[in-house]
Structure 1
Amino acid sequence: MDRNILRAAREDPRRTSTDIQMVVTSPVEPAPSRRTIRRRLQSNGLHGRRPVRKPFISEKNRSARVAWARAHLNWGRAEWAKHIWSDESKFNMFGSDGNTGIRRPVGARYLPKYQLPTVKHGGGSCMVWGCFSAGSMGPLRRIQGIMDRFQYEDILENTMRLWAFRNVGRAYVFQQDNDPKHSSLHMRNWFHRRRHCRWPVSCPDLNPLDFSIWRVLQNIVCARPHSSLEAFREDFCRRMGQIEYLRATVESYPRRLRSVIAAKKGRI
């Protein structure tokens, strides 16, 4: 019976104790109670947990991401030195959009160190576009309102290209994700005579800005209070150029590609 309970849980991790009870019940054996099923699962290390939320990725795109990782696995330092990563992200001036957990003793709920301060209207935030290469952090552009293809073209034409020519050279390879405004016909025409990297769909875990740099910037900037949203933006722009591990991040990128391949189309 225990093996049947474990098999049912491993076949479909979303099954509840009631579902497992229905699966393992047979005419020749008494039905285990739901409490017994939960105890058996916990004793074998299968505890109830909330699943991590990730963007859906189809089987076709899973195969494409592994193929992309294999195609770039043998790139050396010279090839990655010409690569420019880009992304957009929102940064909160005060607090976080997600859930925050703490550990506190009993009876200390209202002590200031265990509280999460809030302000009216969320405290303000700014949406930014940024890029970087192995040699330096690129410019930061604040996004006005909702960015469309015309604002994005202006950023690439008047901000990214000028910085790329000065810091990477004319042989740079530009990376962008598959956001609709990035892949619109308007932008495809803009990229027609320019080198850019075709990117797998829904792969933020392959972009160093997504899985590392934006988070580090958020922690650095939000470590101290700011008197206004403008002061927050100025501090953010100033500290963006102080990240010192860009080259190490790029040099470790082949390890991430190997992890993608080893994950067999799954996320890392």
Structure 2
Amino acid sequence: MDRNIIRASREDPRRTSTDIQVVVTSPNEPVPSRRTIRRRLQAQGLHGRRPVKKPFISEKNRRSRVEWAKAHLSWGRQEWAKHVWSDESKFNLFGSDGNTWIRRPIGTRFDPKYQTPTVKHGGGSCMVWGCFSSQGMGPLRRIVGIMDRFQYEDILENTMRPWALQNVGRAYVFQQDNDPKHTSLHVRSWFQRRRVDLLEWPSQSPDLNPIEHMWEELERRLSGVRATNADQKFAQLEAAWMAIPKSVIDKLLDSMPRRCQAVIDSRGYATKY
């Protein structure tokens, strides 16, 4: 019975104790209680956990990810020296979008100490675009309204390009993901006119982009710091962004071989990065 319980859980990790109870029940043996099933699973190290959320990756994109990882596996800090990494991210004024848990006494639900403040009419977040290279942190640009191809072209022309020419040089290589506004004909035309080299990028690959961890670094630096409006939030973000030391950049670029190896080992599926 113990072996059947473990086997049922490993066959389908999403089975609950009730589901397993139905699977292992037979006419010739006593029915194990759900509590007994949970104890048996925990004894084998099979604890209930919230599954990590990762993007679905198609077979075609998995192959592309592995090919890209193999092509760049041996690249070091020298090969990445001319690359400019970019991305957009949203930061909430009052913390995370997800569910948060608190411990409070009975009858204190509406005590301000145990509340999560919100802002009406969508004023609770600040969207930004940022970039960096091996030379240092690039500019942080606030995104007003919905980011479209015209606003993105303005960011490239008036924010990214002047900084890249001054700090990286004319031979810089620009990295961006395959968001539709990034790959639109309008934006592609701008890259052609400005003769900007693009890093070929596999779809659904945030784990290969070190700027994702740069956003996490920025979030950590502002942990516990609140803002009353989006203007104040952007000022906090910009100050913390520019204060990120070059040692963080070097550490992220040094992680690229490990990221590539992780993609190869996972056969193109999402990795821990």
- The normalised TM-score by structure 2 is 0.85
The percent identity for this pair of structures is: 62
**Residue equivalent to 2:251:** 248
Q: Per-residue deviation at 1:168?
A: 0.9
**Residue equivalent to 2:199:** 197
2:262 matches 1:263? no
CA separation of 1:9/1:172 partners in 2, compared to 1, >3 Å: closer, same or farther?
A: same
Question: 2:33, 2:228 → 1: CA distance?
Answer: 58
**Residue equivalent to 1:177:** 177
Determine helix, strand or coil for the equivalent of 1:155: helix
Determine helix, strand or coil for the equivalent of 2:3: helix
Gaps of 5+ in 1: none
Q: Is the Cα contact below 8 Å between 2:128 and 2:143 reproduced in 1?
A: yes
Question: 1:263, 1:172 → 2: CA distance?
Answer: 31
Question: 2:224, 2:29 → 1: CA distance?
Answer: 60
Question: 2:217, 2:242 → 1: CA distance?
Answer: 12
- The count of corresponding residues between Structure 1 and Structure 2 is 266
Segment drifting more, 191-200 vs 159-168: 191-200
CA separation of 1:32/1:107 partners in 2, compared to 1, >3 Å: closer, same or farther?
A: closer
**Residue equivalent to 1:208:** 210
**Residue equivalent to 1:100:** 100
2:88 matches 1:91? no
Q: Is the Cα contact below 8 Å between 1:137 and 1:240 reproduced in 2?
A: yes
- 1:172-210 per-residue CA deviation (whole Å, 9 max, x = no partner) reads 111111111112222233334431112222222222221
RMSD: 2.8
- 1:70-121 per-residue CA deviation (whole Å, 9 max, x = no partner) reads 111111222111111110011122232223345x6978978x9973542543
**Residue equivalent to 1:10:** 10
2:247 matches 1:236? no
Supply the AA of the counterpart residue of 1:237. E
Determine helix, strand or coil for the equivalent of 1:95: coil
Determine helix, strand or coil for the equivalent of 1:21: helix
Q: Which has the higher contact order (CA 8 A, sep 6+)?
A: 2
Supply the AA of the counterpart residue of 1:44. Q
**Residue equivalent to 1:152:** 152
Supply the AA of the counterpart residue of 1:261. I
Q: Is the Cα contact below 8 Å between 2:61 and 2:202 reproduced in 1?
A: yes
- The normalised TM-score by structure 1 is 0.86
**Residue equivalent to 1:42:** 42
